[in-house]
Amino acid sequence: FFFGVMSATSAPERTLLVVIVDVNSHNWGQVPHKVTFDNMLQHLMFCLNAHLQLNAANTLALIASDHNRSEIVFPCDSFMPNNDHVLYFDDVKDAVLQQLHAFVESSSLAGSTRKMGRSTLSSALSHALCYINRIVAASPDTACRVVAITVSPDTSSQYISIMNNIFSACKLQVAIDGCVLGACHSSFLQQAAELTGGAYSKPTS
């Protein structure tokens, strides 16, 4: 799956890759195969490094999503690269992991156990598209792609907002890729990938 995404971001123009990571610890504990959150992060770091190495102009953003909120965790206040700043992956990796762990800790403290199994995918997609809008407004030649890695089941109440996000992505010509590691397929991400020209994958092992 990740190699497919990398081939799609290897175009000569500048590419922004926005990755949505489902950090819901409750649902990670229900994953039916041996992939753990830490395993996923190792593969993700490899993917992000490859993305940055493919083109010196490539950039990335990472959004963390839990049962109660979603938030852009990279770039962050302590690491805000600009066009004159070379992205060194060790710095990126340290910043991403630090911000992810801080998000998980603060989210768990503010969480409600009654809603632990829920997803905030619609909110995360909205954050991603708003961020993309800002970047494209400043740099119109930027190609953009969203990758959502999730373990949480779809939440039916989010259907309308998810579809609105998909239509917005189509208008912006942004492909949405979905990688589902939970027990059930995500019809939301299947539709998002199909309608935006992205890829959908649900590994079985």
Identify the pLDDT of residue 148: 98
List, for the chain, all residue ranges whose pLDDT scores fall below the cut of 50.
Answer: 84, 114
- Predicted confidence (pLDDT) per residue in 112-122, tens digit: 554 565 778 99
Identify the pLDDT of residue 188: 97
User: Where are the domains positioned within the chain?
Assistant: 2-201
Report the interhelical angle of 187-196 vs 159-172 (nearest 10°). 20
Identify the pLDDT of residue 29: 86
Identify the pLDDT of residue 117: 59
Identify the pLDDT of residue 112: 52
- Predicted confidence (pLDDT) per residue in 120-154, tens digit: 899 999 999 999 999 999 999 999 999 999 999 99
Out of 3.40.50.620, 3.30.450.20, 3.40.50.410, 3.40.50.300, select the CATH number for domain 2-201: 3.40.50.410
Report the interhelical angle of 121-138 vs 159-172 (nearest 10°). 20
- How many C-alpha atoms does 54 have within 13 Å on its Cβ side? 23
